[in-house]
Amino acid sequence: MGDVPSCPPLTRSSVQTAHEAIKQHIHRTPTITCDTISHLASTPQSPESLKGTPFAGRTPSKPRINLFFKCENYQKIGAFKARGAFHALSRLSKEELSKGVVTHSSGNHAQALALAARTHGIPAHIVMPTISTPSKIAATKGYGANVIFSGSTSDEREAVVADVIRDTGAILVPPYDHPNIMLGQGTLALELEEQAKELDERGLDAVVAPCGGGGMLSGVATALYGTGIRVFGSEPSFEGADDAKRGVESGTRVEKVKTLTIADGLRTPLGKIPWTIISDKEKVKGMYSVTEDQIKAAMRLLLERAKVFVEPSAAVPLAVVLYDEDFRTMVEKEGGEQGWNVGIVLSGGNTTVEAIAKLFQPSSEQQAERQESKLGMNGERVAENVAG
């Protein structure tokens, strides 16, 4: 998709140029607030809730936080990925476009590239693992893409992509590890910055974004660098999914990740080019990680209190703000009495009602405990309070 040296530089002005190039093809997604969740974020956690965590024994912090949610779940194809795909195609010549495009993806990038290709009237060849979610396969086909199935490992997928390129001459559009993708994803930060100022003339003090391959986080950091708005990354901690955090701490990029975190959009290792931005502490001020239960709790709040339908990956930044005491203590210290206005990137909403129901279904152990709690000492059922 064009040699990296020939791409625009990774600067704020390049993100602004990218926004001009794609704005006719994307939604300017809303930025919303929720007083209830902001209040909860500004309320100290109980000492009991910190037991069993790395923060056990600490005095809970008392930050003042006002939240601004950038709703990329309302973006075309249901996720921010549309921005990078449309920008990548805008950078191709007519000759390159005529050859069509190819990528390997099991999720949002697959749908995004399929839509962008259809909009430009060109073929899209999408290599998807056979284990991909049926709804995502159907959506990708629905946008007119030629879906080709492969094994689930990166080597298997890349081998099929190589075959497609050999047979068709299609141009590879990677999901995150390319400047044109990063610049496109960063356009959401320009909108968030403007929209937050419209809601509060103070504007933003910080933005927290999720990090998988790092294309969006690095794009956001590039867009906001030099504005005074601090950028932070967020990841799941389950089974080593916090590879970017661990890499930044060690000074070496983690190249392999194998995790089944519920935040399936963040299972990808950090890309080489995004690493150059995310490892720069002037551009990304810190990386934080959260547990599966914390992700689910944040997702439940968004569903029940903000009435926003998101996938688990999108709830990770909010979980950091609510539960990570290192982050919260920093906000308390640096924000003072005025506090911080914090932008939260809700990266997408590509999940299903069935998947969410399964996510919140009690385990067999919890069901057994619940059943036992309904029984008295002699096996007699305890009266239950039932709402009328």
Domain boundaries, the chain: 12-77+179-356, 100-169
Q: Which two tokens stand for residue 270?
A: 């950090």
Q: Which two tokens stand for residue 260?
A: 């089944």
pLDDT in tens, 362-376: 765 555 555 554 444
pLDDT band for position 151 (cuts 50, 70, 90): confident
> By three-state DSSP, how is residue 207 classified?
strand
CA–CA gap between residue 284 and residue 13 (Å, rounded): 18
Same fold, 12-77+179-356 and 100-169: yes
DSSP run (H or E) holding 95: helix 94-98
Tokens 């926004």 belong to residue: 19
Highest mean pLDDT among 12-26, 259-273, 343-357: 12-26
Of 70, 81, 136, 245, the catalytic one is 81
> Strand (E) positions, 19-167?
31-32, 65-71, 101-104, 124-129, 146-150
Tokens 């590890």 belong to residue: 177
The arithmetic mean of pLDDT across residues 149-155, rounded, is 83
Residue 159 CB contacts under 8 Å (≥ 6 apart), including other chains: 150
Alpha helices in 169-288 (DSSP H): 179-199, 215-224, 243-250, 272-278
CATH 3.10.450.50 fits 100-169, yes or no: no
Quote the pLDDT of residue 180.
97
Residues 32-36: contacts with CB under 8 Å, at least 24 apart: 32/68, 32/69, 32/71, 32/306, 32/308, 33/66, 33/67, 33/68, 33/69, 33/199, 34/67, 34/69, 34/305, 34/306, 36/305, 36/306
CA–CA gap between residue 351 and residue 87 (Å, rounded): 25
Quote the pLDDT of residue 388.
33
Q: Which residues pair with 290 in a beta bridge?
A: 236
> By three-state DSSP, how is residue 107 classified?
coil
Quote the pLDDT of residue 4.
76
CA–CA gap between residue 150 and residue 374 (Å, rounded): 49
Q: Starting at the earlier edge strand, list the strands of the sheet with 171-172.
A: 146-150, 124-129, 101-104, 171-172
| Cα distances (Å, whole numbers) of residue 291 to 53, 348, 381 | 10, 19, 35
Residue 32 CB contacts under 8 Å (≥ 6 apart), including other chains: 68, 69, 71, 306, 308
Using the predicted structure, report yes or no on whether residue 378 has a pLDDT greater than 50: no
The arithmetic mean of pLDDT across residues 17-26, rounded, is 98
258 given a catalytic annotation:
no
Of 90, 106, 237, 279, the catalytic one is 106
- Sign of the alpha-carbon dihedral angle for 251, 252, 258, 261: positive
Q: Are strands 65-71 and 31-32 parallel, antiparallel or unpaired?
A: antiparallel
**Amino acid of residue 191:** E
Quote the pLDDT of residue 366.
53
Quote the pLDDT of residue 1.
61
245 given a catalytic annotation:
no
pLDDT band for position 136 (cuts 50, 70, 90): confident
Contact present, 278 and 252 (Cβ < 8 Å): no
pTM of the shown model: 0.91
12-77+179-356 CATH: 3.40.50.1100
Quote the pLDDT of residue 262.
93
Q: Which residues pair with 343 in a beta bridge?
A: 68, 207
- Neighbouring C-beta atoms of residue 206, cutoff 10 Å: 24
Quote the pLDDT of residue 374.
44
Contact present, 345 and 72 (Cβ < 8 Å): yes
